[in-house]
Amino acid sequence: MVSVEKISKSKAEWKKLFTPEQYKVTTEKGTEAPFTCTFDEIKEPGVFSCVRCGTDLFANTVKFHSGTGWPSY
């Protein structure tokens, strides 16, 4: 478990930093359409990190195909 200091930015500031899709997912609780996430195609070793705070989230080695249209960890 890692504690991360809260990052306080206005919605306008976050909007400037992200693509429209990133903003929708990270700020408005949206999601990508199923079967469109490019993370599913990444096969090389690595770690997925939070786009907002940079915290490591998942190792690529624990990713699996759940059949839901999104990569699962």
Domain ranges of the chain: 11-72
Residue 17 CA: distances (Å) to CA of 9, 53, 59? 11, 12, 25
CATH superfamily of 11-72: Peptide methionine sulfoxide reductase. (2.170.150.20)
> How many CB atoms lie under 10 A from the CB of residue 63?
16
**pLDDT tens per residue across span 14-68:** 999 999 989 998 899 888 888 887 777 788 889 989 899 999 988 888 887 788 8
| pTM (2 d.p.) | 0.70
- Which secondary structure element, helix H or strand E, spans residue 58, and what is its range? strand 56-59
